A = this chain, B = another copy of it.
């Protein structure tokens, strides 16, 4: 199939995803929708082939993950998505088939999350594929939930389960090298973990509970241990975490039973896109109730206390766990 020009490409694949203020993707800029009494917030996460996804991942999933990691940031801030800009750098060997799949996945999620495409830029990449998304959201004025805000005595909560995506990625790499631990993993569990790595679930349903009850929040992208240290450190806090309190999926529990050393992968591997938040004890019952009503699993993992050291992780016998690298390092 002949490849379209840039204008044809935009008109065919991306213009159908355009929302109000996007001028059909035929202008230099988009107007962001404003909501009276609300702040507009913006966040930006880049996804690069080979770093953030595998080059042979399905194109629709690449698009959806690139959007969802941005929606996850909006969720952690208590915001409602309102639209996004797409920067797409296509390598020399892009195909119409790949692009059609990419646009289809992107459109499905843009519709599902009511987050229309507002504009962007499409360029040629001399290297690998790059997806650079800027997402916008609205939040009642001055109610954005900040990262800096944990107070002494706050309960720290995590949503969902931790480590699934990291185990999924690790499984994919280790299974190709015939690693021992991968042989004990049931096929259904491997598929579940792979799915968690491929397609995170932004916890947008939690946004009202966060705004009503949380002192601070962030999404977990670079690893539970490192992101916890980051959030606590901003206000001079630390914590002691019993690893048994870290919420794990059944698949992760089974793997940990077979290969206890993978606890570090779970705690530091990242790509969770769960939310970490701190809630004062007086609000914790209401927060748990509101989260349950919103259908989001939340679990207390620690209590914040003053201190400059990174959080300590203890096993069931009370032994401290040495975490070599608390979070995924980008460099």
Contact across chains for B330 and A123 when beta carbons are under 8 A apart:
yes
The CA-CA distance from A330 to B79 in the complex, in Å, is 35
Q: A48-B126, A126-B128 are in contact. Are A30 and B5 (CB under 8 A)?
A: no
A303 in contact (CB, < 8 A): no
- Any B CB within 8 A of the CB of A148: yes
B3, B9, B43, B329: which contacts A28 (Cβ < 8 A)? B43
A85 touches B121 (CB 8 A): no
A308 to chain B, nearest CB (A): 15
| Residue A44 interfacial (CB < 8 Å) | yes
Instruction: Scan residues 119-163 of chain A and give those whose CB is less than 8 A from a CB of chain B.
Output: 119-128, 130, 132, 134, 136-137, 144, 146-148
Q: Does A50 contact B (CB under 8 A)?
A: yes
Chain B residue with the shortest CB-CB distance to A39: B31
B51 and A126 within 8 A (CB): yes
Contacts of A136 in B (CB 8 A): 42
Is B87 touching A29 in the complex (CB atoms < 8 A)?
no
The answer to whether A46 has its CB under 8 Å from any CB of chain B is yes
Tell me if A34 is interfacial: C-beta within 8 Å of chain B.
yes
Interchain CB contact under 8 A, A331 and B45? no
Please tell me if the beta carbons of A29 and B137 are within 8 angstroms of each other in the complex: yes
A67 to B278, CA, bound (A): 37
Q: Which residues of A contact B (CB under 8 A)?
A: 3, 5-7, 9, 23, 26-32, 34, 39-46, 48-52, 73-74, 76-77, 79, 85-87, 89-90, 118-128, 130, 132, 134, 136-137, 144, 146-148, 218-219, 230, 234, 329-331
7 pairs, A vs B, C-beta closer than 8 Å: A23-B146, A27-B77, A28-B43, A29-B144, A42-B119, A48-B124, A127-B127
